[in-house]
Amino acid sequence: MKVGFIGLGIMGKPMAKNVLKHGYEVICFDFNQANIDEVVTAGAQAGASGKEVAEKAEVVITMLPNSPNVEAALFSENGISAGLSAGQTVIDMSSIAPQASQKFAKQLKKQAVEFLDAPVSGGEPKAIDGTIAVMVGGKQTVFDKYEELLKTMASSVMLVGDVGAGNITKLANQMIVAINIAAISEAYSLAKKANVSPEAVYQAIRSGLAGSTVMEQKSAKIFAGNWDPGFRIELHIKDLQNVLDTSHAVNVATPFSSLAMDVMQALKAHGHEQEDHAAIARFYEQINNISLQES
C-alpha cells in the first residue's frame, strides 16, 4: 500500500518512519526540506506538493498543527484535494477542532473521498517508539481498512464514533493532561513550601491512586528544570482553545480547563510558549517564589 504523509514535524517525522519500518511505501511532503530529507533517507519518496502526494498514494495522512493548516493542506492550490480520486481516503491525525473535521469530511465527500479524524496522544517519545494512542472518528468500514496501518504507529487504536468523535476524545485527553500537570505542580509546590522533598512525595505516591502517566512522564522534567519540548505549551494552548470553543458550542461548563488555559497564557506572556507543557510548573514556582528542581 502506498501511503502519503504530509506534515513531518516533531510528531509526524517519527510516525512516518514507523510506517516505513512496517513495509509500507511512503510518499512524503513538508515545507521543511530538512525534514523531507530525513524521512527520504529512511526510505520514503519525496513529493513536490500535496497534490503530487495524493496522486501517487492510496491513502493520505496529514499531521499538522491546527485546523487552518489542515484546511490549507487539503484545499489550497496544488493541495491534497487537487490530486485525489474517488475511492481514496484522507486520515487527518492532527489535533484540530471537531467541527473542522466534520466540515472537511463533507467537502471531500463531494469527491467520493473518505475521511477519518484520528488525533494522537503520547508526545514525541511515544511517536518515536510507536506507542502513541490513536482515537478515530469515521465509518467502521473505513476504519477497518486502515486499522493495521494506524497500528504501525501506535499501541492503541480505537474507533470512538463518527467523524469529529476522534477530536472530541483528543480534547478530553488534553483537558485531563493540562489539569493533571497543574495538579502535580501545585502538590509539589505545597511539599516544597512545607520543607518536604517534592521528589520524595512523588516516589511515595506514584504507585497509589494519584499516580498517572502524566506524573511519570513530567515529574522528572519538573525536578530537573528540563523544559525541552516534547509537546509545546503553544500547542496545548491551541488545544485548550478548541476545548473552550467546543464547550461553548455544546453548552458545557469547563472551569478547570479555563483555569489551565489562564496558566498557560500567563506562561506565554513571559516567553515560555516554546517550552514543554511540563513548564506549567514554572507558574507555580513564580507565584510561590520557589524552585521545584532537586539539588
**Residues forming the active site:** 170
Nearest to 11 by CA among 123, 116, 91: 123
Three-state secondary structure call for residue 187: helix
DSSP string of 68-102, one letter each residue? HHHHHHHHSTT-GGGG--TT-EEEE-S---HHHHH
Three-state secondary structure call for residue 121: strand
Name 283's Cβ contacts closer than 8 Å, sequence gap at least 6: 185, 263, 266, 267
C-alpha cell read off for 73:
493542506
Three-state secondary structure call for residue 261: helix
Give per-residue burial for 244-280: e unless 16+ CB within 10 Å, then b. Answer: eebbeeeeeebeebeebbebbeebeeeebbebbbbbb
Are residues 46 and 36 in contact, defined by beta-carbon separation less than 8 angstroms? yes
Give 238's strand partners. Answer: none
C-alpha cell read off for 10:
516533531
DSSP string of 14-53, one letter each residue? HHHHHHHHTT-EEEEE-S-HHHHHHHHHTT-EE-SSHHHH
Q: Residue 87 region, left (φ>0) first, then alpha (ψ -120 to 50), else beta?
A: left
- Owner of C-alpha cell 498514494: 57
